[in-house]
Copies of this chain bind each other. A is one copy, B any other.
C-alpha cells in the first residue's frame, strides 16, 4: 500500500471546495481563487496539483452513479427503484448538481454527462426493456424525466417542486420511468 503523503489533505480540501463551488456557481463563476480561498490555500497550489481549471473540474466530477443491481429486484419495480436511488444520490452531495450545472454551459461537461448516463443508465434499460434495440431511447426518456426533476428541484428551485416530499416525487415519477423503460409502446 502507498503511504499517505502530507499533501493528501490539501488535495482533498481542494476537491471538496471545488465540488461545492462548481455546484453552486457553475464552471465560469467558480474561480480558482475562490476555491483556493475556501480550501485555505494559495491558488497556485490548485495549478500544481491539477494542472489547470479543466483538470480540476475533471477530478472534481469523477463520479459513479452506483446504480443498484437490476437483476435483484422484480422488473416491475424498476421505475420506483431508479427514482428512489437517484433522489438519494442527488441529495447525498453536490457532485451531480455541479455536473448538471456545468454540463449546461460547458461542452466538456455535457460530454461527461452524456457518457455517464449512457454507460450507467444504458445497461439498466437493456436489462428491462422489451426490445433491446430500443434500450437507448428508453434510457433517454427515463433520463429526461429524472434530470428534469433534478433541474426543477435542485437547480432552478421551483417552489412547488422543492416542496414535494421525497415520497411524493417517487410516487409520481416512479410509474413514469417504469412506463418509459418497460412499456411495449407509448
The residue on B at minimum CB distance from A136 is B160
Whether A105 pairs with B114 at a CB distance below 8 angstroms is no
In the complex, chain B residues whose CB is within 8 Å of the CB of A158: 114, 117-118, 140, 143
Binding site secondary structure of chain A: helix
Whether A151 pairs with B151 at a CB distance below 8 angstroms is yes
> Among residues 113 to 153 in chain A, which have CB atoms less than 8 Å away from a CB atom of chain B?
113-114, 117-118, 136-137, 139-141, 143-149, 151-153
Per a CB cutoff under 8 Å, which of B110, B146, B157, B160 touches A139? B160
Q: How far is A154 from B33 in the complex, measured between Cα atoms in Å?
A: 32
Min CB gap A60→B, angstroms: 16
**Given A145-B148, A186-B171 in contact, is the A137-B117 Cβ separation under 8 Å?**
no
Per a CB cutoff under 8 Å, which of B29, B143, B147 touches A28? B29
Q: Determine how many copies of this chain the complex contains.
A: 2
Whether B114 pairs with A140 at a CB distance below 8 angstroms is no
Whether A147 pairs with B152 at a CB distance below 8 angstroms is yes
Whether A160 pairs with B140 at a CB distance below 8 angstroms is yes
Q: How far is A12 from B80 in the complex, measured between Cα atoms in Å?
A: 49
Q: Is A70 at the interface (CB under 8 A from chain B)? A: no
In the complex, chain B residues whose CB is within 8 Å of the CB of A113: 156
Per a CB cutoff under 8 Å, which of B28, B118, B147, B174 touches A151? B147
Residue of A105, A155, A157 ringed by the most chain B CB atoms within 10 A: A105
**Given A114-B156, A157-B110 in contact, is the A105-B151 Cβ separation under 8 Å?**
no
Give the B-binding residues of A (Cβ under 8 A). Answer: 25-26, 28-29, 100-101, 103-105, 110, 113-114, 117-118, 136-137, 139-141, 143-149, 151-153, 155-161, 163-164, 168, 171-172, 174-176, 179-180, 186
